[in-house]
Structure 1
Amino acid sequence: MASTATKKRKRDDLYESDISGEQATLQLYEEKESAVGPILASFPAITPSKSIAFKCYAQGKAKSDVEFSSRKLVVAGESDTVEIFSTNESEEAAVGCRYYVGVRNKRTNVVTIRPAPIQVFTRNVKALKNLTPIASSSAERIAARNALGETFGTKKAQKAIRAAERNKVDVSAMQGVTSHIQESIEAKTQSLPTQEKAKELEDESRNIPPFNAEAKTPSEVYELHKIIPQAEFNAIDINEILQASSDYERMSSVPSRRSDWVRHHVSSICNSSKPDKKALKIVLYVSAMMAFYVSAHKLCNDRDALQQRLSGVPSNVIDGLLERFTDNLRGSSERRFSTENQIMLLTHMFALCLRVDNYVTDTTVLANDLKETIIRINQYFKLLGCKIEKLSAPELARLELQGSTEVKRAVLKVPLEFPKARIRRKN
Structure 2
Amino acid sequence: MADSAARKRQKGLQGQAIEVQLAANPATAPQPALALFPSAQPPSKTPYTLYTKSGEVTGGDGRKRQQAVLAAETDDVEFESRNQLGVDEHGEGEGYSVQYMLGVRNPRTNILTLHAAPLHTFTPTVKSLKSAPASQSAAQLIAAQRAALGSTFGTKKAIKQLRAQERNKLNETSFGVGSEVAGLKDHLTLSIQAAAGNLPSMQSIEDEANEKRPIPPYNKDAKSPGEVYDMDAVVSQAELNAVPLGDFISAPDFKARRDMLPYRRSDFIATKMRQLLPSRASAEGNVPNPSKRDRERLRLVVHLSHLFQFRNTVRPGQLVDRAKLVERLGNPSNAVVDALLERYTEKVKGGAGGEEARKVTTTMELKLLTYMLVVALKLDGWSTDVETMANDLGMGTKRVGELFRSLGCQLIAPSAADREKLVATGRASTAAEAAKSKKATLKVPLQFPKERKGQPKR
TM-score (structure 1 length as normaliser): 0.57
- Equivalent-residue separation in structure 1 for 2:400 and 2:456 (angstroms): 29
Following superposition, the deviation at residue 277 of structure 1 comes to 0.9
2:193 aligned with 1:175, yes or no? no
Change over 3 Å in CA distance of 1:145–1:191 after alignment to 2: closer
Matches within 5 A, 1:15-30: none
2:432 aligned with 1:414, yes or no? no
Following superposition, the deviation at residue 180 of structure 1 comes to 4.1
Q: Which residue of 1 aligns with 2:329?
A: 310
User: Residue deviations 1:55-102, cap 9 Å, x none?
Assistant: xxxxxxxxxxxxxxxxxxxxxxxxxxxxxxxxxxxxxxxxxxxxxxxx
Q: Which residue of 2 aligns with 1:235?
A: 242
Change over 3 Å in CA distance of 1:379–1:148 after alignment to 2: closer
Change over 3 Å in CA distance of 1:237–1:196 after alignment to 2: same
CA contact 1:300–1:322 (8 Å) conserved in 2:
no
Q: Which residue of 2 aligns with 1:362?
A: 385
2:375 aligned with 1:352, yes or no? yes
CA contact 1:253–1:312 (8 Å) conserved in 2:
no
Following superposition, the deviation at residue 255 of structure 1 comes to 1.0
Following superposition, the deviation at residue 352 of structure 1 comes to 0.9
Q: Which residue of 1 aligns with 2:408?
A: 385
Between 1:184-193 and 1:293-302, the stretch displaced more is: 184-193
Pick the aligned partner of 2:361 from 309, 326, 338: 338
Following superposition, the deviation at residue 360 of structure 1 comes to 1.3
Following superposition, the deviation at residue 146 of structure 1 comes to 3.6
Pick the aligned partner of 1:324 from 343, 354, 357: 343
Following superposition, the deviation at residue 156 of structure 1 comes to 8.2
Give SS of 2:314's match.
Answer: helix
- Equivalent-residue separation in structure 2 for 1:297 and 1:146 (angstroms): 63
Change over 3 Å in CA distance of 1:250–1:380 after alignment to 2: same
AA of the residue aligned to 2:342: E
Q: Which residue of 1 aligns with 2:311?
A: 293
- Equivalent-residue separation in structure 1 for 2:369 and 2:248 (angstroms): 25
Change over 3 Å in CA distance of 1:396–1:414 after alignment to 2: farther
Aligned residues: 282
- Equivalent-residue separation in structure 1 for 2:135 and 2:416 (angstroms): 72
| Unpaired runs of at least 5, structure 1 | 1-139, 150-154
User: Residue deviations 1:156-210, cap 9 Å, x none?
Assistant: 89969x999x864337454333344345445655654344433332221011111
Q: Which residue of 1 aligns with 2:200?
A: 193
Q: Which residue of 2 aligns with 1:245?
A: 252
Matches within 5 A, 1:19-418: 144-146=131-133, 168-170=171-173, 172=177, 174-182=181-189, 184-185=191-192, 188-189=195-196, 192-271=199-278, 275=290, 276-297=294-315, 300-329=319-348, 333-393=356-416, 406=435, 407-418=437-448
- Equivalent-residue separation in structure 2 for 1:412 and 1:423 (angstroms): 25
| Unpaired runs of at least 5, structure 2 | 1-126, 149-164, 280-287, 429-433
Following superposition, the deviation at residue 314 of structure 1 comes to 2.7
- Equivalent-residue separation in structure 1 for 2:190 and 2:213 (angstroms): 35
Following superposition, the deviation at residue 351 of structure 1 comes to 0.6
Q: Which residue of 1 aligns with 2:108?
A: none
Percent identical residues? 30
Change over 3 Å in CA distance of 1:146–1:189 after alignment to 2: closer
CA contact 1:288–1:313 (8 Å) conserved in 2:
no
AA of the residue aligned to 1:389: I
AA of the residue aligned to 2:172: V
Give SS of 1:252's match.
Answer: helix
Give SS of 2:441's match.
Answer: strand
2:453 aligned with 1:423, yes or no? yes
CA contact 1:387–1:412 (8 Å) conserved in 2:
yes
Instruction: Please tell me whether Structure 1 or Structure 2 has the larger radius of gyration of its CA atoms.
Output: 1
- Equivalent-residue separation in structure 1 for 2:396 and 2:319 (angstroms): 24
- Equivalent-residue separation in structure 2 for 1:270 and 1:416 (angstroms): 33
Give SS of 1:297's match.
Answer: coil
TM-score (structure 2 length as normaliser): 0.53
